[in-house]
Chains A and B, each alone.
Chain A
Amino acid sequence: MKAVYALYADPDSAQLAVDSLRREGVAERSITVISSEPFEEYEFSRRDKPTWIFWLATAGGAVGLILAYLLASTTQRLWPLVTGGMPIVAMWPNLIIMFELTMLGAIIMTVITLLITARLPTTRSKLYDPEVSSGKILVGVENAPDDSIEKLKQTLRATGGEVNAG
């Protein structure tokens, strides 16, 4: 992988670098911004479309609900046990099991979606610099064509970054 990146001390310079790269015609998907904390007030990325995570969590909850109903009602039918004059399939107490497994389904699906969409866990070598953990912000271009590397370096340097190539 050919990558060019620069480290910035503050988010304003990093934003400037991202904007310059966009102006240079670098594709949005090739620009990577890495930081040790989220910067919600900056527009480092335009490719963050509305996430499906909320809907998938709901779907996970629905699966949990159905499984809970099947677990409770099927077991009650297979091993009928009259308790306290309640019907064999007693919906009031079953609602408790259904509620718990609905929430469990939603929680587990949220975590699975997070891991898949954030591409975790991974052992693949990626664009990264340990300086990020010291608070610097990495702005880089992944898979840059050979003939554009020098120009990219100039752009990143012009916006105040410490340029590196990886």
Chain B
Amino acid sequence: MNLEKKNKINDDLLRPVLHTSPWFYVILLVLGGIIVAGLGSWMYQMSHGLVVAGIKWPVYWAFYITNFVFWIGISHAGTLISAILRLVNATWRRPVTRCAEVITVFALMIGAMFPIIHLGRPWLAFYLMPYPSERGIWPNFRSPLVWDFFAISTYLTGSTLFLFLPTIPDFALMRDRTTGLRQRIYGMLSLGWQGTTKQWHRLESAMQIMAIAIVPVAVSVHTIVSFDFSMSPVPMWHSTVFGPYFVAGAIFSGIAALIVAMAILRKALHLEEYLHPVHFHNLGKLLLTMSLLWGYFTFVERLTVWYGNAPAEMAVFWETQTGSYAPLFWTMVFCNFVIPLPLLGIRRLRTITGTVIASSLIVVGMWLERFLIIVPSLAMKNLPYSWGFYRPQPVEIMITIATFAAMAFLYLLFSKFVPIISIWELKVGAHPRPVLTPQEEEEAQELWRVRP
């Protein structure tokens, strides 16, 4: 690759960082407004108590815990996918990895807020910390909530470092391209990076180990989130399939979120030359695999319950299949399986537009899935006299909307301060690649061609 090409990559990918469009501030302002409204709702809930939320006996886990599980699931978009693609040395990953890793860090931060919002009295959140105290609360390492604490902390630490390490050389690049305060900040963030052969070698070795370590951690995180449910003798929760079901669902929703984010970035930051149809095509294939896997798990879970015919479980089963939750259930099936299957399965439809439509539906479908796992089971526990109903209240709806705005807000800010595509990795990807067979070459050319 010649110097002009390298400089073009630098200029194209640093443009969003160095130049700000007025639209940036407008969007930031709108998103900020929604976040403030969400914070206001939370303050209102704090001052009036959880009575303003829809959660009441017997449904104590509802929107907030749905959001918690949903965002932890979305966090699987980044680090896990990026680590897997690194390990299998998928060369097309290069423009995708940072977009993905950022989602993980922000989604985990947002997800981890929900148990605190759900507490009602967040100033007592330190009660959750596993340390011995005089209040008669013991650190209970046998509680799935403590496992959550350890798993999410480990994943957040690992993911933040996994995002930060390969960004160091790009911080050094920005240090050289900026002046004044910005130069000083980027200089500090680059840690004095030079780019010696030894530094590159060490960085790549470290990233390899991180990738190996982060995959099982990511799998464990959503397995442990599933344990929050499957360790309880609640109808349709106490299931051995929940671990892999949750992990598959998390990867599924994560890839969908990544595709949507990439499409927005491509359009908004004019990254058409870097985020090619092939990236959407390949992620679309992954999404198709996960859609099939999700369909398989849902079928297995439903069939096992139906075949067992236990009265308490069947009550929840029929309520979701044909009862008051049926519209949500069938919307979920259509969003996660019925519509994505042709959109992603038929090659001609697996375009950028096709994958984005499928992904947007999947994000909605997966939120519904989390809701349908949590609420109907709690509303219809073993004894009919303890059944109840849940109706979300404006406070909960506003906080939920605000978290989506917060995700977009943080993502937007990040892309303003850090190149959203790893510049040095992209340059490495442009090094000469192995010769393909004529047919493979033709297919590759077709996919890399820029098209809407």
Residues of chain A having any CB pair with chain B under 8 Å: 9-10, 32-41, 44-45, 47-48, 51, 53-54, 57, 72, 75-76, 78-79, 81, 83-84, 86, 90, 93-94, 96-97, 99-101, 103-104, 106-108, 110-111, 113-115, 117-124, 126-128, 130, 132-136
Which A residues are CB-close (under 8 A) to B161? 107, 111
Quick check: is B7 within 8 A (CB to CB) of the other chain? yes
A35 and B196 alpha carbons, distance in the complex (Å): 7
A133 and B200 alpha carbons, distance in the complex (Å): 14
A108 and B201 alpha carbons, distance in the complex (Å): 18
Which B residues are CB-close (under 8 A) to A79? 132, 138-139
Quick check: is B191 within 8 A (CB to CB) of the other chain? yes
Q: Distance in Å from the Cβ of B56 to the closest Cβ of chain A? A: 27
Known contacts A110-B210, A118-B199; 13 additional CB pairs below 8 A are A34-B194, A38-B201, A38-B203, A90-B142, A96-B150, A100-B154, A101-B150, A103-B154, A103-B158, A104-B154, A111-B206, A120-B168, A122-B192
Q: Distance in Å from the Cβ of A126 to the closest Cβ of chain B? A: 6
A81 touching B140 in the complex, CB below 8 Å, given contacts A32-B196, A110-B213, A118-B198: yes
Quick check: is B427 within 8 A (CB to CB) of the other chain? yes
Residues of chain B having any CB pair with chain A under 8 Å: 2-3, 6-7, 10, 130, 132, 138-143, 146-147, 150-151, 153-154, 157-158, 161, 165, 168-169, 172-173, 176-177, 191-206, 209-210, 213-214, 216-217, 220, 224, 424, 427-428, 431
Q: Can you list the 9 inter-chain pairs with the closest CB atoms, starting with the nearest?
A: A135-B6, A121-B191, A38-B200, A122-B192, A133-B176, A114-B206, A45-B197, A130-B176, A120-B191
Beta-carbon contact of B198 and A136 below 8 Å = no
Q: Distance in Å from the Cβ of A50 to the closest Cβ of chain B? A: 10
A57 and B211 alpha carbons, distance in the complex (Å): 12
In the complex, the chain B residue whose C-beta lies closest to that of A41 is: B431
Beta-carbon contact of B141 and A135 below 8 Å = no
Beta-carbon contact of B191 and A107 below 8 Å = no
- Specify which of B143, B154, B165, B214 lies most central, judged by the most chain A CB atoms within 10 Å of its CB: B154
Q: Distance in Å from the Cβ of A15 to the closest Cβ of chain B? A: 12
Beta-carbon contact of A133 and B172 below 8 Å = yes
Which B residues are CB-close (under 8 A) to A84? 142
A108 and B408 alpha carbons, distance in the complex (Å): 29
Beta-carbon contact of A93 and B147 below 8 Å = yes
Which A residues are CB-close (under 8 A) to B210? 107, 110
Which B residues are CB-close (under 8 A) to A90? 141-142
Which B residues are CB-close (under 8 A) to A117? 198, 202
Beta-carbon contact of B141 and A9 below 8 Å = no
A120 touching B138 in the complex, CB below 8 Å, given contacts A38-B428, A45-B198, A99-B220: no
A24 and B2 alpha carbons, distance in the complex (Å): 29
A111 and B193 alpha carbons, distance in the complex (Å): 15
Q: Distance in Å from the Cβ of A98 to the closest Cβ of chain B? A: 10
Which A residues are CB-close (under 8 A) to B202? 51, 53, 113-114, 117-118
Beta-carbon contact of B203 and A118 below 8 Å = yes
**The one of A97, A101, A115, A132 that contacts B195, using a Cβ cutoff of 8 Å:** A132
In the complex, the chain B residue whose C-beta lies closest to that of A127 is: B194
**The one of B7, B213, B214 that contacts A134, using a Cβ cutoff of 8 Å:** B7
In the complex, the chain B residue whose C-beta lies closest to that of A129 is: B176
**The one of A76, A94, A113 that contacts B206, using a Cβ cutoff of 8 Å:** A113
In the complex, the chain B residue whose C-beta lies closest to that of A73 is: B141
Q: Distance in Å from the Cβ of A113 to the closest Cβ of chain B? A: 7
Beta-carbon contact of B194 and A97 below 8 Å = no
Beta-carbon contact of A83 and B140 below 8 Å = yes
Which B residues are CB-close (under 8 A) to A78? 132
Beta-carbon contact of B151 and A48 below 8 Å = no
A114 and B161 alpha carbons, distance in the complex (Å): 12
A33 and B200 alpha carbons, distance in the complex (Å): 11
**The one of B194, B199, B201, B224 that contacts A51, using a Cβ cutoff of 8 Å:** B201
Q: Distance in Å from the Cβ of B150 to the closest Cβ of chain A? A: 4
Beta-carbon contact of A93 and B177 below 8 Å = no
In the complex, the chain B residue whose C-beta lies closest to that of A125 is: B192
Which A residues are CB-close (under 8 A) to B199? 118-120
A-B contact pairs, 21 of them (CB 8 A): A37-B195, A37-B200, A45-B201, A51-B205, A53-B209, A54-B209, A75-B130, A81-B138, A83-B143, A93-B142, A103-B217, A107-B214, A110-B210, A118-B199, A121-B191, A122-B191, A122-B192, A126-B192, A132-B176, A133-B10, A134-B7
